[in-house]
Amino acid sequence: MKMNTFMYFLFLFPLLTQPTSSTLFSHLDHFTLPPYLRNPQPQEYLEVTYSPPLTPSCSHQILNHSFANTINSPPHSTPYSSPSHCFSSSSSRILLHFHATCKGEQYDRIAALWLGGVELFRTSTAEPTNAGIFWNVRKDVTKYYSLLLRSDLNLTMMLENIVDDEYTGVYHVSVTLLFYTDDAVRVPFGRSFSRSLKDESESGFYESPPPADLIVPISSDGKRGFWFMVETENDLHSRTVQIPQNTHRAVLELCVSFHGNDEFWYSNPPNSYITANGLDTGRGNGAYREVYVTIDGEVVGSEVPFPVIFTGGINPLFWEPVVAIGAFNLPSYDMDLTPFLGKILDGKEHSFGIGVVNGISYWLVNANLHLWLDHESSVVYGNRVIHQNPETSIERIEEFSGLDGEFEVEADKETQIAGWVASCAGNITTTISQGFTFKNLIKFHNNGTYKMVKQRFMAKKKVKVVNERGELVVKLKVKRKYPLRVITLTQQPCCNKTNSDRYILVTNVTHAFKEKCVGGLFSHLVSNVQDSNGWMEVEDHSVLSGEATTKQNYSYIDGFSCYSQNVAAADGRIVGDDSSFQCENSL
């Protein structure tokens, strides 16, 4: 369970604001940009993504707050009242519009927004300039429909910031809900899931499922934000939950971000290397992490998270004004727990836990449990039929001599879980087959001055739902890949002993997020690739000079739209931006 929260912030914020000077030996690091290196004009920052160009039929501001010196304070909390005038029978989609501005000098910060403890949005901020910066993010929040209808909840936002003589940037944030009515994006509101299963099973596959009837937070008490802080590999944070006995579908949405010594977990060498070289860094424990979820102590699902790079990460010049993939809208991870329902439909309390394999300080994790209820009966029954859920197999190879070496981690897992749930919609069996392969290679050459990380991750998931006659009701296939490659080369500007903290870092980063999801009108394809090259001269954690370019190719295809955008940024400015609604690929 949650421990004392005061202690860790004493520990955490000195790390963020006065980073230790072990830079030469930690592989990747976090920096700030001084004002003189920045754009003198107010500038818009952005994360390249696709949001359909539609006009909202209604909009409603739910938060307007300035985050100044908020360190060690409780989160900002305000009563939420549902904009009933915006909900209509023709509403089809709800987007959350996040707007932020900041001016001055400031580190990037992590932030999240919760409604009644359920996480709606997790984001990180961009580092401001003296002229000021601003950005806008849109996230589809249609799946939280049942929650957004309520008026008995508080809306909470955590953004811990420091404002003093040196760090002057105050983050001004406003959040607005946008409502759309468009037949092309219709989500079957107000229809129960069992009803839609019945209707659609005649015509083939159902469209996207209606939002859950109930969303239960698997989160902390909220005094320091609703996330749990994981600081060691043995930390398992849990919350007891009692779910309605007429639940016939359950999906857990896992929200994660990584910070401190695990901010660049994919570049952490094994402890043996750190000890043997007498290095002064806490960034160890090898380069494998997996976030797992338990019910009553049994692991029911896990995810290797996408490596989001915050705007101060690796080379902050890369991320202005185009931020890294996911930095403004961190991905969450869905786990279909329907096959496990038989375990928790007894009307009793059950413990849901979240932990991080090999995790070190610190991870911010929590989850939303989306539940669909059978409106025609008060109790449904279920049981698990097949269950093949082995532990992840992890293999490690390490070889080093002095500061040079090579470290490899390979992990994979294959699971198959099936279970039936008998409700008014019939006796439905859900079978989920999934697996992933992970490979991470770290190389240190030239006495540790050349460092490379190459990581590959590929996950596949198949969900098959059949009725009691053995007829296929739902079929869904998801495939995800997130490759990453980071190269850094440390060079001394000269051998000036009195200036030995100053060095040049040449850095290349290539990473991508690719997802293909096929199943009825659910189908979509996302391909998002970023390629950054540059160098910077660094003293301590401040960048003194540098050059950087970032190129990004993004494409999104679904049953209704096809969008692609290629962006290039150099030295803080957009130098190329082509977007198109024509597609080369198709689903």
208/277 with CB nearer ligand NAG: 277
In this chain, which stretch among 32-40, 200-208, 282-290, 421-429 interacts with ligand NAG, using CB under 6 A? 421-429
Instruction: Write down the least CB distance from residue 497 to ligand NAG, Å.
Output: 8
- The answer to whether the CB of 420 falls within 8 A of the CB of 397 is no
In this chain, which stretch among 147-155, 247-255, 302-310, 515-523 interacts with ligand NAG, using CB under 6 A? 147-155
Q: Which of 479, 475, 456, 454 is nearest to 466 (CA)?
A: 475
Sole binder of ligand NAG in the list 101, 154, 523, 565 (CB under 6 A) = 154
Residue 566, H or E segment? strand 562-570
Instruction: Write down the least CB distance from residue 585 to ligand NAG, Å.
Output: 12
233/404 with CB nearer ligand NAG: 404
Question: CA torsion, points 532, 535, 537, 542, in degrees to nearest 10?
Answer: 0
Question: Residue 153, interface with ligand NAG (CB under 6 A)?
Answer: yes
- Residue 507, both tokens: 């850095």
Q: Which of 161, 63, 62, 177 is nearest to 109 (CA)?
A: 161
In this chain, which stretch among 84-92, 130-138, 258-266, 527-535 interacts with ligand NAG, using CB under 6 A? 527-535
Site for ligand NAG, residues 481 to 520, rule: CB under 6 A: 487, 489, 494, 496, 498-499, 506, 508
Question: Residue 82, interface with ligand NAG (CB under 6 A)?
Answer: no
Angle at 83 between CA 82 and CA 85, to 5 degrees: 135
CA Rg value for the chain = 24
- Residue 346, both tokens: 């007894």
Sole binder of ligand NAG in the list 357, 529, 544, 570 (CB under 6 A) = 529
- Taking residues 389 to 418 in sequence order and writing x for each that binds ligand NAG by CB under 6 A, - otherwise, the string is --------------x---------------
204/278 with CB nearer ligand NAG: 278
Task: Check residue 144 and report its DSSP letter.
Answer: G
> What is the DSSP track for 246-291?
TEEEEEEEEEEEE-GGGTTGGGPPPHHHHHHTT------S-S--EE
Sole binder of ligand NAG in the list 422, 424, 517, 518 (CB under 6 A) = 422
In this chain, which stretch among 12-20, 146-154, 212-220, 349-357 interacts with ligand NAG, using CB under 6 A? 146-154
Buried b (16+ CB within 10 A) or exposed e, 400-411: beebebebbbbb
- The answer to whether the CB of 556 falls within 8 A of the CB of 50 is yes
- Taking residues 430 to 469 in sequence order and writing x for each that binds ligand NAG by CB under 6 A, - otherwise, the string is -----------------x--------------------x-
In this chain, which stretch among 90-98, 299-307, 330-338, 525-533 interacts with ligand NAG, using CB under 6 A? 525-533
23/142 with CB nearer ligand NAG: 23
Question: Residue 64, interface with ligand NAG (CB under 6 A)?
Answer: yes
Question: Residue 580, interface with ligand NAG (CB under 6 A)?
Answer: no
Question: CA torsion, points 551, 557, 561, 566, in degrees to nearest 10?
Answer: 10
- The answer to whether the CB of 418 falls within 8 A of the CB of 434 is no
Q: Is 183 exposed, middle or buried (0-12, 13-18, 19+ CB in 10 A)?
A: exposed
**Site residues (vs ligand NAG, CB under 6 A):** 61, 64, 77, 152-154, 174, 381, 403, 420, 422, 427, 429, 447, 468, 487, 489, 494, 496, 498-499, 506, 508, 529, 531, 533, 551, 553, 566
